[in-house]
Structures are given as structure tokens and as C-alpha cells.
Amino acid sequence: MTTKQNCYFKQNGIKYVDYKDVELLKKFLNPHARILSKKKTGVSTEYQKKLSMAVKRARFMALLPYLSR
């Protein structure tokens, strides 16, 4: 019996996931700098897509690492 998790972004009223907000993006990455699944984070599909695009942009702009060990 799992309870339905609420979306972090909807709870906090965040409409736009900004790629420059590195601290927020790090919450949704595992220690190896991979994007966590929406099952683990409880983020809705809409925001998971925005989150993945923001992480990819932040990686391209060298704000986040592609790999971390």
C-alpha cells in the first residue's frame, strides 16, 4: 500500500523550473548525478519533463556535472 505522493513543484507553487537554480536541481539527482525517476521523487509527468530539460541545460552550461563519483 503506497500513498500517492504530491508533486514538489505544485506544493511550492513553482511554475517554471529554472536551469540556473542548481540547488533545486540537485535535489532531484542521485549521488552519481543521474536524474531520479518520478516514481522516487513523486513529481508529476509535466514537471518531470521540465525538470529533465532544466538538468540537461544546466549540464550543457557547466552548472551541473554529467558524471559524479
- Condensed to tens digits (0 to 9), the pLDDT of residues 15-59 reads 999 999 999 999 999 999 999 999 999 999 999 999 999 999 999
Burial 5-14 (b: 16+ CB within 10 A, else e): eebbbeeeee
What single letter denotes the amino acid at residue 14? I
Q: What is the pLDDT of residue 47?
A: 95
Answer yes or no: is pLDDT of 1 > 60.
no
In the chain the domains, ranked by start, together with CATH numbers, are 14-60 (4.10.640.10)
Using pLDDT thresholds of 50, 70 and 90, give the confidence band for residue 69: confident
Q: Indicate whether 5 pLDDT > 80.
A: no
Question: Residue 3 pLDDT > 60, yes or no?
Answer: no
- 19 backbone dihedrals φ, ψ, rounded to 5°: -70, -15
Cα 34 from chain centroid? 10
